[in-house]
Amino acid sequence: MKIIMLGAPGAGKGTQAKMLAAKYDIPHISTGDIFRANIKNGTPLGEKAKEYMDKGLLVPDELVVDLVIDRFKNPDCEKGYILDGFPRTIPQAKALTEALEKIGEKVDFAINVEVPDENIIRRMSGRRACVGCGATYHIKYNPTKVENICDACGKELILRDDDKPETVEKRLNVYHEQTQPLIAYYTEQGILKEVDGTVDMNVVFDAIVDILGE
């Protein structure tokens, strides 16, 4: 079962990807993890990626796809995988489709976790992170016992720059411009499925499992 998770930043697709990976015993793959592993292990592809990253440049789509396809060769991908955060653009999606076709494979499902922008801004601006241990909370959905104090280590909680409403709006604008077109792309491929991401995460999970039908 080969799955691509789609959705705006803060829609909860990463959480769903982890839950699905655990249920189906398939790896949850992000390009960040692939980059780190290849760079740490000093692979030829990792060295190439590091050259771009050291210069502050984006890693070219062709190289990212090569790294992703290489990751699929690992034994843990025999039963499938869940791609989270890739592809991000139409060129990346097309390059991935072509690369998979060359090895006789294709993606089975593209799952879009649909959440309106205003919900995401409200969600993310309610997040709080501990300055000590890095634990994360939410003022509404996962509050601490003592306001603004970490349950785990007793240090102060902060609103990270990434979660400030103005930053979230910028990230959403980038998503709508670059990544949202993937919904139409995978609809044309006949593999897009949508779920309502505004409900409880366990309800979202059950809806995805119903779609996957296993």
Q: Which of 79, 106, 160, 170 is catalytic?
A: 160
Q: Which of 88, 94, 122, 164 is catalytic?
A: 88
Catalytic residue among 94, 164, 171, 193: 171
Single out the catalytic residue among 2, 71, 123, 127: 127
Q: Which of 13, 71, 123, 128 is catalytic?
A: 13
64-71 long-range Cβ contacts below 8 angstroms, 24+ apart: 64/31, 64/92, 65/92, 65/95, 65/96, 65/99, 66/99, 67/31, 67/34, 67/35, 67/38, 68/29, 68/31, 68/34, 68/96, 68/99, 69/99, 69/100, 69/103, 70/38, 70/45, 71/29, 71/34
Active site residue 71: no
Please indicate whether residue 88 is annotated as part of the active site: yes
Q: Active-site residue 122, yes or no?
A: no
Kindly list the catalytic residues: 13, 88, 127, 160, 171
